[in-house]
Structure formats: structure tokens, C-alpha cells
């Protein structure tokens, strides 16, 4: 089957769509990737790409077509321009690049605003092929969650999302709560399907190797990995770390990059937490299994907002696969899962004293109890987040879908 994949980000950027493309290639599908120039999360075009873009025109057997974009930078304005430039480039240059190509299906990986799907809908109508929308964030709710208050903007985005959803053959979302919310908010029915993510294959490798960050075995090491963005509740994390500061062997490690990194590092200094919280930049994904393996617990921190109550962050699948206790500062679906399977401790920003106490108690638990929590997490991942089973499900939807007349 000839499949066009439209995605804001793709290899060498580290996103789930890379592994998904691997899965479809392994199943003998012919793929074309329509994407932008790599700039996530640093905010500037990768130097290696700028030096030799020809090295990034193929991903295994898949052809990569890249449209020009404004890099995401480090401010909201730059990020908005990044989104806007990708939309216009995709609509103009992207449609021109594929004008003579034939496809059977279109897949949109919508990790960024849903606007990425608008050109896909146009291409779908021109070529009479269905669009499958893989949504990781809910819009316009995500804008509200990070502080946007303009009613005009939110109404515009809502109408745009409604336009896209109603013209998509299928909408795949990462949580059951998100399924219900989309169905209720946009009056949709059977086309919205629960489709969780999974951990990349390398996280299932027992030979993780040595961690590239210094995690002292004498300490209880809590590790956060991923984007340091506005959706994460780093403000509460700083407060909790202060409450736990008197526990000398409890250390926090933040691995990743993003617009909040400078703020986090300033807060660490202002609160005299230099010997409690340590920050690191990004590492290649090949280094991540060893970092997770060396940790004692893995951290999720989401802001207290209704949209995140129906959110399961992508790192959750990876954390579960790593087989470590999970510390979840959130509300809603992800906390419920952690509690139900006894895979760690949970709390929210409404009661940070209680949450800090739970973390301190976790750090003092016998090793066998910590291992049991980790085993519960990994068993859940094997059952619910099996990569091959999930890609098989997606492939079945692609192959057997018939265009609506």
C-alpha cells in the first residue's frame, strides 16, 4: 500500500512516528514522508542537516520530502510562526512536491497543532483517498492549558479542529478519556478510536549499557525525561523538591530540553537546590535506556488542568517498559492507572505536602517492594502497549477502510 505520512517532525528528530514508520516499512508498505526541516527541541535547524541535507532524504526505503519552515525558537511568538510557516509551506510546497505521486492512504501525525492536517484534508479530496489522523494533543484545550485566553483564537481553533475531524476517516487518540471528550465536544461517534503509544524497541533490550549521566547508587535517583515545556508542572516539582530537601540521599535528575529549561535552572539556584536537582540536555535516544535503567524511580509532572486529566503522556509507555516505579504528579487517567496497577505513587498540586511524604516513603522502601512496582509497570506495558500488536491494529484499519461515498 502506498502511504503518505504528513508530520511536523520526523527523523532525525525523536518522535514516535519514526518507530511507526519502521513498523509499516517492515510490513512492506511504500511510504513517502512529508515533513519540515529538523529543529526540535533546540529551536534551530540541525547543523548536520544544514551542512548536508542530502543525507536526510531517505529513511530506510521511505522517501522524505521536506518543506521550508521558520524554526520554533525559544519564545511563543517564534513557536507560533513555526506552526504557521509549516502550514503554509505544506499547503504550497508540499502539495506541489507530491502532485504527480499516487497514494492509497494519508496518515497525519498530529503532535503539533491540528493545522498540520488541513493540507492533508485538501490532498485527500483532490486524490480521493482517506485521511487517518493520529492525535496526541487535544485542541483547542491544549492552548487553554498553557495560558492562551483569547476567545476569538480559541473559537477559530475549535472550528478548524471540527473541520479536520469531520473530514478524517478515522481519529486515533492516546487515552479513553480523550475518546470521550472528542466525541462529546465534536459530536462524533465511531470514527474516534483509543490508540495508545508504545516504547521504542530499544527500551526492551536487556543490555542497556552504562548511563551517560552520573547516578550515584548511594542515592535514591528520581529521573524525568522529555520536553521541558509549559504543559509540565515544574513549579510544583521545585516546591516538592524543597519539601524533600532534608532527605540527603534523594536526588532529582531532569533530562531533556525545551523552553522551560532556563526557568528551571534559575529556580534551582534561587531555591538553593543545586545539590538536589540536576539538569542535563538532550541525549540521543540510544542513550536513554541506560539512563532509565540506572534510575530508582521515573517522574511524570503535568499541570493541574482539566485537559491533562484525560492525557496519557507519551513517556508513560516508556517508563512502564523500563520497569521502574513511577512518580506521577498529575490528575486523572494516568494517576488512576499507576494506582490501579500499584506501579508507584501519585499526587497532584492541590496537596504537595502529602505528595512529598509519599515520595520520601517511596525512597525508604525495601528494594523488593520497589522491584514489585517496576514489575507491575512492565507487565502492564507488555499487555497494553505492545508495539507490534498496535501497529497491526493500525494497519488493519488502513487496509480495510473504505472511502465514504
Q: What does the pLDDT read at residue 68? A: 96
Strand partners, 224: 254
Q: What does the pLDDT read at residue 208? A: 59
- Strands in 344-347's sheet, in edge-to-edge order, are 277-280, 250-255, 220-225, 297-301, 326-329, 344-347
- The packing angle between helices 151-166 and 176-186, to 10°, is 100
Q: What does the pLDDT read at residue 358? A: 98
Rg over CA atoms, the chain: 21
Q: What does the pLDDT read at residue 259? A: 84
Q: What does the pLDDT read at residue 405? A: 36
**For 5-39, what is each residue's pLDDT tens digit?**
999 999 999 888 999 999 999 999 999 999 999 99
**Are the C-beta atoms of residues 332 and 359 closer than 8 Å to each other?**
no
Q: Do domains 2-198+386-400 and 201-384 have the same CATH topology?
A: yes
**Which of 240, 205, 235, 402 is closest to 318 using CA atoms?**
205
Residue 112 has pLDDT above 80, yes or no: no
Residue 403 has pLDDT above 80, yes or no: no
**Which of 339, 389, 210, 186 is closest to 286 using CA atoms?**
210
Query: 38-55 burial, b if ≥16 CB within 10 A, otherwise e?
Result: bbbbbbebbeebeeeeee
Most confident segment among 75-89, 149-163, 235-249, 387-401: 235-249
**For 134-153, what is each residue's pLDDT tens digit?**
998 888 787 777 677 788 88
Q: What does the pLDDT read at residue 401? A: 79
CA dist 142 to 109, 123, 145, 335, Å?
16, 26, 5, 19
Higher pLDDT among residues 193 and 307, named by residue: 193
How large is the average pLDDT for residues 336-344?
97
CA dist 170 to 103, 113, 194, 337, 387, Å?
17, 17, 11, 26, 20
How large is the average pLDDT for residues 182-207?
81
Among 109-113, 270-274, 313-317, 357-361, the least confident range: 109-113
pLDDT band for position 400 (cuts 50, 70, 90): confident
pLDDT band for position 404 (cuts 50, 70, 90): very low
Q: Where are the chain's structural domains?
A: 2-198+386-400, 201-384
Q: What does the pLDDT read at residue 150? A: 82
**Are the C-beta atoms of residues 338 and 344 closer than 8 Å to each other?**
yes
Q: Name residues whose C-beta falls within 8 Å of residue 236's C-beta, 6 or more positions apart in sequence.
A: 301, 304, 329, 349, 352
| CATH number of this structure's domain 2-198+386-400 | 3.40.50.2000
Burial of residue 383, with CB atoms counted within 10 A of its CB: 0-12 exposed, 13-18 middle, 19 or more buried? exposed
Higher pLDDT among residues 307 and 101, named by residue: 101
- Start-to-end C-alpha separation, the chain: 21
Among 11-20, 71-80, 144-153, 243-252, the least confident range: 144-153
Residue 67 has pLDDT above 80, yes or no: yes
How large is the average pLDDT for residues 274-303?
93
Q: Distance between CA 86 and CA 135 in Å, rounded?
A: 17
How large is the average pLDDT for residues 355-359?
97
The total number of residues shown for the chain amounts to 405
- DSSP assignment of 284-350, as one string? -GGGHHHHHHH-SEEEEEB-S-GGGGG---THHHHHHHHT--EEEE--SHHHHHHHHTT-EEEE-GG
Q: Distance between CA 111 and CA 177 in Å, rounded?
A: 18
Q: What does the pLDDT read at residue 205? A: 61
How large is the average pLDDT for residues 65-84?
91
Q: Name residues whose C-beta falls within 8 Å of residue 164's C-beta, 6 or more positions apart in sequence.
A: 114, 117, 118, 121, 133
What's the whole-model pTM score?
0.83
Q: Distance between CA 110 and CA 15 in Å, rounded?
A: 11
- DSSP assignment of 385-401, as one string? --HHHHHHHHHHHHHH-
User: Would you say domain 201-384 falls under CATH 3.40.50.2000?
Assistant: yes
Residue written as cell 543490555? 207
Grid coordinates of 274: 543545586
pLDDT band for position 206 (cuts 50, 70, 90): low
**Are the C-beta atoms of residues 24 and 3 closer than 8 Å to each other?**
yes
Residue 256 has pLDDT above 80, yes or no: yes
Q: Considering the chain, what percentage of its residues have pLDDT values greater than 70?
A: 96
Element (H, E) at 368: helix 367-384
CA dist 155 to 61, 211, 213, 252, Å?
41, 46, 45, 40
**Count of CB atoms within 10 A of residue 151's CB?**
8
Amino acid at each position: 500500500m502506498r502511504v503518505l505520512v504528513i508530520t511536523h517532525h520526523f527523523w532525525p528528530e525523536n518522535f514516535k512516528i519514526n518507530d511507526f514508520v519502521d513498523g509499516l516499512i517492515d510490513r512492506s508498505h511504500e511510504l513517502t514522508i512529508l515533513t519540515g526541516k529538523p529543529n526540535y527541541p533546540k529551536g534551530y535547524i540541525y547543523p548536520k542537516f544544514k551542512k548536508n541535507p542530502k543525507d536526510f532524504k531517505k529513511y530506510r526505503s521511505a522517501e522524505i520530502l521536506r518543506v521550508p519552515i521558520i524554526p520554533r525558537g525559544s519564545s511563543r511568538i517564534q513557536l507560533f510562526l513555526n506552526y504557521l510557516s509549516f502550514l503554509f509551506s505544506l499547503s504550497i510546497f508540499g502539495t506541489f512536491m507530491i502532485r504527480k505521486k499516487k497514494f492509497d492512504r494519508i496518515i497525519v501525525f498530529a503532535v503539533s497543532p491540528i493545522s498540520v492536517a488541513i493540507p492533508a484534508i485538501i490532498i485527500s479530496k483532490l486524490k480521493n483517498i482517506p485521511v487517518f489522523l493520529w492525535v496526541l494533543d487535544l485542541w483547542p484545550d491544549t492552548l487553554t492549558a498553557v495560558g492562551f485566553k483569547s476567545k476569538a483564537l480559541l473559537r477559530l481553533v475549535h472550528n478548524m479542529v471540527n473541520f479536520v475531524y469531520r473530514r478524517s476517516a478515522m481519529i486515533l487518540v492516546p487515552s479513553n478519556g480523550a475518546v470521550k471528550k472528542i466525541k462529546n465536544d465534536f459530536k462524533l461517534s465511531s470514527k474516534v478510536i483509543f490508540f495508545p503509544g508504545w516504547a521504542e524497541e530499544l527500551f526492551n533490550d536487556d543490555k542497556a549499557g552504562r548511563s551517560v549521566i552520573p547516578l550515584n547508587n548511594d542515592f535514591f535517583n528520581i529521573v524525568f525525561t522529555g520536553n521541558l515545556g509549559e504543559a509540565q508542572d515544574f513549579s510544583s516539582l521545585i516546591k516538592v523538591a524543597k519539601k524533600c530537601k532534608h532527605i540527603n540521599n534523594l536526588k532529582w535528575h531532569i533530562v531533556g530540553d525545551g523552553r522551560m529549561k532556563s526557568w528551571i535552572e534559575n529556580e534551582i539556584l534561587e531555591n538553593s537546590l543545586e545539590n538536589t536537582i540536576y539538569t542535563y540536555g538532550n541525549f540521543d535516544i540510544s542513550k536513554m535506556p541506560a539512563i532509565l535503567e540506572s534510575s530508582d524511580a521515573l517522574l511524570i509532572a503535568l499541570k493541574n488542568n482539566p485537559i491533562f486529566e484525560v492525557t496519557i503522556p507519551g513517556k508513560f509507555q516508556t517508563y512502564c517498559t523500563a520497569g521502574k516505579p513511577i512518580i506521577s504528579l498529575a490528575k486523572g487517567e494516568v494517576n488512576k492507572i499507576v494506582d490501579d496497577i500499584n506501579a508507584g505513587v501519585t499526587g497532584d498540586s492541590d496537596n504537595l505536602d502529602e505528595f512529598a511524604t509519599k515520595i520520601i516513603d517511596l525512597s525508604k522502601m525495601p528494594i523488593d517492594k520497589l522491584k514489585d512496582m517496576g514489575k507491575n509497570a512492565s507487565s502492564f506495558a507488555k499487555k497494553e502497549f505492545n508495539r507490534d500488536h498496535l501497529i497491526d491494529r493500525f494497519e488493519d484499519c488502513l487496509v480495510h477502510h473504505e472511502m465514504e461515498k
